[in-house]
Amino acid sequence: MPLIRFGVLTLLVASVSISGAAQNAAWFGTPVPPPVSDPRKPIMKHDDAFAPLPTHFTPRAGRHDELLDGAVLKTDHKKIVGFSLESLAAGDKVWGRRAATPAFMHTIEWTVNELKGAGLKDARTETYAVPGPMWAPLSWQVQVLGDPAFGAGTQTVTLQSAFPQPGGATIPSGSLTAGVIFVGHGTDADLAGRDLKGKIAVVHIRPEPSLFGSAEQGVAARLVEKGAVGVINAVEGPGNAQYFDPRFACGKAPCFMVGGNDGWFLQQVIGKAANAGVLDKLKVSLSLASEDKSGLTSANGVATISGLSAKRIVVNAHADGYFQGGDDNASGLAVLVGLARYFAKQPPPKHTLMFVASGGHHGPGNGPGSLVAAHPELKDGTLLILNLEHVGYADVVRGKTRAANNTGMSWELSVTEAAKAVGVTNESPFLIDLWRQAARCYGVATYQSVGPMVSGDLGGYRPLGVPMTQMIQSGTFYHSSGDVAEAVPAEALERAARFHAFLIEKADEASEALITSGKGTPYQSKGQSCP
Ligand SMILES: [Zn+2]
Ligand SMILES: [Zn+2]
């Protein structure tokens, strides 16, 4: 008993002296954040005991199913990601396969060559002039300025993951320094009674399930309208990734996103400075120089497999993307190339298959919009448009161990892909019935629902007024440096490719009325058997 009492007392003394030391240590004892996560490497652990869910497809004799093997698709997938790494090596600031850049054009050229090699003789690059300029940052820095009031030896910390958001203008004097204000999620409730004027606002972003779904879209712009001189979007994400997404920009004001480690540090020191009564001494310095590039040219890669009829089924995948763009959209483009090779070896289809490696929609320009404008024959000559986008992202979920400092559960990599939202614009019962086979017969993870919504690259095709369909998901690393090649397992590419080959074959064979007849049309399901 006395021993136990002694133990408790020792612990108490120890904890008092630790917290006393922390008070005097730099940054109130808060560990300074690690460097930015290496964008060449995965942030999640990909070498654990558990491999991705396997695929089990038996090749059919004489059908060239081997062209859709995971290993084949993965080779192309890595090649496509390689164009992004070329952009990184060239020193592009917003690197990747950004539309109209050399790395993007190389991606299109490579795709066209692959399609030609597969026997699609008319494979070609169709260029288009990009309306409007492309914003490009030249240099930037985000620093949290050291002050002895935050503990002895507090040095200025550079938030290395800080990434400027599109539109930010060059700061006239090079940099600006201001006090900070933390606004939570930036809702009206968070902002009630807060004075943002002259401050740099820090907003907490939850990528649930991704920046695409985040409730904090548009908040940064509102904060500037309310008087903030700059905004730091602190993303609650794994590692210390970089993010780029216009929905977190704030016009001409300097607006940045920071990754998980930097965001955590910043919020910790804001809280601790406030508790110590020295929040007024906490300053952040932002620097930014940028330019607008105009007169740019972008492109689509286009090729066809002639059918018995000239009426088309369009298969689209956007070729552009930010950072490595492993899932967005090297995954879709690799599957598109695989499907073109596969269908080139099949008997002629009933409808002409048109494969489009699109200039995308990440700006500048719009690939599908430009294609539709350049091809009036598509208006009455298209039966169906199928989009391949973000088709194989290994799911990153929360929940094995509770992290220190109550920041929630650790991030974990799942053996399955993220479930995807299936969209069929006209809600054709026939097409929906085909999608039912995705999970049952091909192991493709989808939501247990289908709707008419199709986000992503299909917007530019809307003027054609024909049925469009896709599955899509945007995960934790959407539009970030964490969307690496390793985030897309070969098995995921294979599942997506085999299902889409089935979908195209069935849609091609079907009567056109089954595709064009929308919601409510009587349709007898083909039942539970898999092909
Ligand atoms: Zn995207
Ligand atoms: Zn995309």
CA distance 525 to 213: 33
CA distance 109 to 115: 10
Q: Is 339 exposed, middle or buried (0-12, 13-18, 19+ CB in 10 A)?
A: buried
Cα of 113 to ligand 1 centre, how many Å? 24
How does pLDDT run across 218-265, given as a tens digit for each residue? 999 999 999 999 999 999 999 999 999 999 999 999 999 999 999 999
CA distance 124 to 354: 12
pLDDT at 524 over 60: yes
Residues whose CB is less than 8 angstroms from the CB of residue 435 and which lie 6 or more positions away in sequence, other chains included: 422, 424, 446, 450, 469, 471, 503
**Strand duo 163-164 + 255-258: pairing:** antiparallel
Cα of 410 to ligand 1 centre, how many Å? 25
Cα of 320 to ligand 1 centre, how many Å? 8
Ligand nearest to the CA of 333: 2
**Strand duo 309-318 + 255-258: pairing:** unpaired
Task: Please tell me the total number of residues recorded for the chain in this structure.
Answer: 531
Cα of 389 to ligand 2 centre, how many Å? 6
Cα of 328 to ligand 1 centre, how many Å? 5
Cα of 530 to ligand 2 centre, how many Å? 30
Backbone angles phi, psi at 436, to 5 degrees: -60, -25
How does pLDDT run across 484-495, given as a tens digit for each residue? 999 999 999 999
Quickly count: other Cβ atoms within 10 Å of residue 343's Cβ.
Answer: 26
* H or E element in which residue 270 lies: helix 260-275
Cα of 85 to ligand 2 centre, how many Å? 18
324: which 2 tokens?
């490595």
* H or E element in which residue 311 lies: strand 309-318
pTM above 0.85, yes or no: yes
pLDDT at 13 over 50: no
**Strand duo 96-97 + 321-322: pairing:** antiparallel
Cα dihedral 85, 90, 94, 98 sign: negative
Residues whose CB is less than 8 angstroms from the CB of residue 40 and which lie 6 or more positions away in sequence, other chains included: 85, 88, 484
How does pLDDT run across 462-514, given as a tens digit for each residue? 999 999 999 999 999 999 999 999 999 999 999 999 999 999 999 999 999 99
Cα of 390 to ligand 2 centre, how many Å? 6
DSSP label at residue 60: P
Give the mean pLDDT of 338-359: 98
Cα of 457 to ligand 2 centre, how many Å? 7
